A and B are shown apart, each in its own frame.
Chain A
């Protein structure tokens, strides 16, 4: 083994330590956690997980999160695909300014928008719905999706479009049956980043929901403060939020690095 490969190994160990501690905590009883330090769970228990899977306020948190994250990914991609095509293939008045304006929304601090978002979505009657969170997350996911997709589309030669027209394809048919399959890696990468940023965001999701669409992350903050400090339960809920991300990342592992490399800017 070359000494150089020590660097990634040390780094990965550093990354895994807090995660290991979270997992270890989730298998301990509250008594053991508060009783003192133990490196491995002495009194191995699945009680914390059982509590989550039998309490609707807990498991609905996961279902709510998955619903709005999926909705957001679908809306973002559906809107971003034609827009990215336009930025990649056409020049039109104001295109460069529009592109920069889109990117500026990626820079807006979520804390700035929390209160106005609450008022806006309350006044249109969407407060506490999955759609509200999905639409709000479009603010930072659409610019990112356009940015990534535009990079992938620009690497497809323009001759593909022209050949399709010569062969008599209508534009919608060409776009759906030829063009999108040609950039399917890009669609995957964009979907991954939309999923990621919608899944990890809490401030807006918490502001826009009360009961019906409350995300899992918000349920966790409630538990930490009101029901005493149930660390084991909190840890188990935390472990369960890592799993969807881990599954998604496994499927796109070969495209993650490429997605940014081909981005515009």
Chain B
């Protein structure tokens, strides 16, 4: 039981100051830009909600949002079940456990642009291991810079390669917290593998899996560096996800007003979906 103590505020003050400095001031800057128009020279004019209306109606934003949702949905559908399957078949004790964990966690600690560069080198049609194998050994026509389908498959494979391990680690953490007595009881009752999974393992993994879904949703929705380095958003605009499009508008064309409005809409969507997850999780706990 936690005691009521206003001293708590004193303890969270450093965190509050640091995060507020980093979150509130830039957010206010964005809000400020989103309602103004500029022609350079630091002259700003009031634009009201025009940018928001323009963005919400723009085909380009709809297309980028559509690609973003498709990307996030695809990687969640692949990574979550795959992560659970791998965690279930991992050894529970013995010398192979640390070996598995260290090797699997390795992709998580590679800088994001190195991940992009690595996959770029890996998939080059003539000299990359994957590109060469597909084109010259298996005879499949594969060129990421020309075919949008190939670019999509590569971006998704890269994300699966990069992040499935996070799901594996979380699911594994849930699995090893199950007391052995549960399994013994199931064995005495003659439960099948499926019922052990459905009635013992899955409920025990419920909480960590929700964390996994939430983290994977947030990070894949914000993804920028890896696909940018790998495909640059191309060919054409086929892999231009929301963040890539946003940076193109903000830093490429320097359209601060529309970029700011787009940022706020983007953040609002991310926040709304995350809040739904958060609400579902806390409901389960009570």
B104 within 8 A of A: yes
Interface stretch (choices B22-30, B140-148, B182-190, B195-203): B22-30
Task: Flag if B221 contacts A109 (CB, 8 Å).
Answer: yes
Task: Flag if A90 contacts B91 (CB, 8 Å).
Answer: no
B89 within 8 A of A: yes
B270 within 8 A of A: yes
17 chain-A/chain-B pairs, Cβ below 8 angstroms: A5-B91, A8-B91, A14-B161, A15-B107, A37-B136, A79-B18, A82-B11, A86-B12, A90-B8, A91-B8, A107-B222, A111-B246, A113-B26, A120-B25, A120-B29, A265-B210, A265-B282
A16 within 8 A of B: yes
A44 within 8 A of B: no
A127 within 8 A of B: no
A202 within 8 A of B: yes
Task: Flag if A202 contacts B18 (CB, 8 Å).
Answer: no
* Contact bitstring B101-119, A, C-beta under 8 A = 1, else 0: 1111111111111100111
Which residues on A sit within 8 Å (CB–CB) of B240?
A: none
Interface size in chain B (residues, C-beta < 8 A): 97
Q: Tell me the smallest distance from the CB of B194 to a CB of chain A, in Å.
A: 15
Say whether, besides A136-B22, A138-B22, A260 and B169 are in contact (CB < 8 Å).
yes
CA distance A104 to B273 in the complex (A): 11
Say whether, besides A11-B104, A87-B12, A100 and B278 are in contact (CB < 8 Å).
yes
Which residues on A sit within 8 Å (CB–CB) of B282?
A: 265
Apart from A109-B270, A231-B121, A238-B114, 7 more pairs, CB < 8 Å: A21-B128, A106-B218, A109-B246, A111-B243, A117-B22, A246-B102, A260-B208
CA distance A8 to B168 in the complex (A): 10
Interface stretch (choices B44-52, B53-61, B70-78, B173-181): B173-181
Name the 6 nearest CB pairs between A and B, nearest first.
Answer: A245-B109, A116-B26, A92-B8, A86-B11, A261-B173, A90-B8
Count CB-based A-B contacts (< 8 Å). 284
Task: Flag if A253 contacts B98 (CB, 8 Å).
Answer: yes
Which residues on A sit within 8 Å (CB–CB) of B105?
A: 249, 253, 256
B247 within 8 A of A: yes
Which chain A residue lies CB-closest to B123? A18
A178 within 8 A of B: no
Give which listed residue, A82, A238, A253, contacts B118 with CB less than 8 A: A238
Task: Flag if B23 contacts A22 (CB, 8 Å).
Answer: no
A74 within 8 A of B: no
Which residues on B sit within 8 Å (CB–CB) of A146?
A: 15
Interface size in chain A (residues, C-beta < 8 A): 99
B229 within 8 A of A: yes
CA distance A184 to B7 in the complex (A): 24
A45 within 8 A of B: no
Say whether, besides A12-B103, A37-B132, A246-B106, A217 and B127 are in contact (CB < 8 Å).
no
A221 within 8 A of B: yes
A57 within 8 A of B: no
Which residues on B sit within 8 Å (CB–CB) of A136?
A: 22
Which of B91, B101, B210 is most buried by chain A, counting CB atoms within 10 A of its CB? B101
Give which listed residue, A17, A108, A201, A242, contacts B112 with CB less than 8 A: A201
CA distance A224 to B116 in the complex (A): 12
Task: Flag if B6 contacts A92 (CB, 8 Å).
Answer: yes
* Contact bitstring A113-140, B, C-beta under 8 A = 1, else 0: 1111101100000000000000110110
